[in-house]
Amino acid sequence: MNAKRQTGFTLIEVMIAMLIGIIGIVVMMQTFAVSEGFKRTATSGTDAQVNGSVALYMLEREIRVAGYGMNGYLPAVGAAPNNVYCSSIRVWNTATGTGQDMRILPFEINPAGIPAGDPSTDVIVIGFGTSDSVVAGVQANQPTSTLDDFIMTSGKDGFRQGDLVVAVQPGTLATDPASCVLHEITSATNAVNTCGAGPTTDLKHGVTTYKSANAACAFVTPRFNSSSGIKDAGGATVPAIKLASGGQLFNLGNPSLKAYAIRNGNLTSCDMLASNCTNVANYVVVVNDIVSLRAVYGRDTLPALPAPQDFQVDVWDRAPIPTLADASRVMAVMIEVTARSGLKEKPATGAACTTLADSTRPDKVMDWIGGSVVGAGIDVNPSNLPPGDWACYRYKLYQTRVPIRNMSWRP
């Protein structure tokens, strides 16, 4: 009897099957890679869109409330005399025992002393108060010295513990500058907002820990008061405010004064009341992959004085704000932010990243301002593109015009 013949695949058949399988796997992997590339591109484009929307919304929201609680100590254009308004505010640092004169303005582009951001970008500062009951100044008095409590004859229920106030004492002569000093209220009259401490007759500004209504009644240490009297730039103790000569308190509540800048391709922020914003290390990233931030003032230039201010934008420009009266002229702001995708597109071998459909930086080549901006030598849309691989990314440009309504809604 013959043995049964063995059955199965020959070596050649196995090798052919493996070759076919490998080819199939290669085709599938290439298809998957292309599909994954398209997905990453679409996802990164969506990320840029979301980041740009978030950045613009955040800035627009803060600009809309810029100047709240501050416009009372900012002079209206044509107003006189100058001795009742603040040219700057003395801000004391309790921890270091030092002070600085700050211009706490509603909005400013590229303020002096703040380090610049990435090339061809702006630094902006936005300031506003948060008091929910006091907008105009409230008359106050200190009997003998700046260490005395603030004695209030009216309006004292609008203050609460933890509020920051600007004490304004007019100068003796009309040409004298007013003394404007920031204080931190450590004990307030409003029984509802005293965190269980009970009402007091006057407003105290001490240096010991207290329960702050702006910190959910947690114990905090005062940051802006002095036990020996706040000193001015010349080393003299600031004067007490006197009711008889127009002394007032402006309640800022828990104010915000933030500098925004583009640093290393991200939108960063620094709290000027809490940190030294001349040090770039104190800026924190708030929105990733934002590569451009530009701004333009919308000013009310007024007819010839003493004609009343009409609170209409007459010109768009980027000229500096030399005085606080000039700050009162800014009625609106135009801003632009450009977001970049997080994915670097891979060009064809040997090709440059210049042919992608959306790869052009829109803030560099588009006239996003919609017209000319007054100001010699100022180019808000520079045509020179940065070196490197900028064209390997996709960009989304966002722009808007925002009214600074608190400059027209003056008390």
Query: CA–CA separation, 252 vs 163, rounded Å?
Result: 7
The token pair at 18 is 């493996």
Residue 218 CB-half CA count within 13 A: 5
Rounded mean pLDDT, 128-154? 86
Query: CA–CA separation, 93 vs 303, rounded Å?
Result: 42
pLDDT in tens, 181-211: 999 999 886 655 567 655 566 889 999 999 8
Residue 371 neighbours by CB distance under 10 Å = 6
pTM of the model: 0.82
- What is the percent of the chain with per-residue pLDDT over 90, rounded to a whole number? 32
Asked if 208 and 284 touch (Cβ cutoff 8 Å), the reply is no
pLDDT of amino acid 200: 60
CA proximity to 157, closest of 220, 203, 111:
203
pLDDT mean across residues, the chain: 81
pLDDT of amino acid 377: 54
Sign of CA dihedral 26, 28, 34, 39: negative
Edge-to-edge order in the sheet of strand 315-317:
315-317, 290-299, 330-340, 395-403
pLDDT of amino acid 184: 94
pLDDT of amino acid 214: 87
Query: CA–CA separation, 169 vs 230, rounded Å?
Result: 14
pLDDT of amino acid 376: 47
Three-class DSSP category at 363: helix
Is residue 45's pLDDT more than 60? no
Phi-psi sector, 166: left (phi>0), alpha (psi -120 to 50), beta? beta
The token pair at 102 is 């700050």
Among the residues of 65-165, which ranges form H helices? none
Query: CA–CA separation, 193 vs 161, rounded Å?
Result: 7
Any idea where the domains of the chain sit in the sequence?
46-67+263-407, 82-104+130-253
Sign of CA dihedral 157, 161, 163, 169: positive
pLDDT in tens, 348-403: 555 666 545 555 677 776 677 766 676 645 667 766 555 567 777 878 889 999 99
Query: CA–CA separation, 365 vs 355, rounded Å?
Result: 15
Sign of CA dihedral 242, 246, 251, 252: negative
Of 42-46, 201-205, 288-292, where does the model show the most confidence?
A: 288-292
Q: Which parts of 229-360 are beta strand (E)?
A: 248-253, 256-263, 266-271, 284-287, 290-299, 315-317, 330-340
The token pair at 361 is 């930086």
Is residue 219's pLDDT more than 60? yes
Is residue 310's pLDDT more than 80? no
Stretch (H or E) spanning 17: helix 11-64
Residues 6+ away with beta carbon under 8 Å from 193? 160, 161, 213
Q: Which residues of 235-268 are buried (b: 16+ CB within 10 A; e: fewer)?
A: eeebbbbeeeebbbbbbbbbbbbbbbbbbeebbb
Sign of CA dihedral 122, 380, 405, 174: positive
Backbone angles phi, psi at 128, to 5 degrees: -160, 155
Query: CA–CA separation, 351 vs 45, rounded Å?
Result: 22
- What is the percent of the chain with per-residue pLDDT over 70, rounded to a whole number? 78
Check residues 60 and 172 and name the one with the higher pLDDT: 60
Among the residues of 65-177, which ranges form H helices? none
* Residue reference for tokens 């003796």: 172
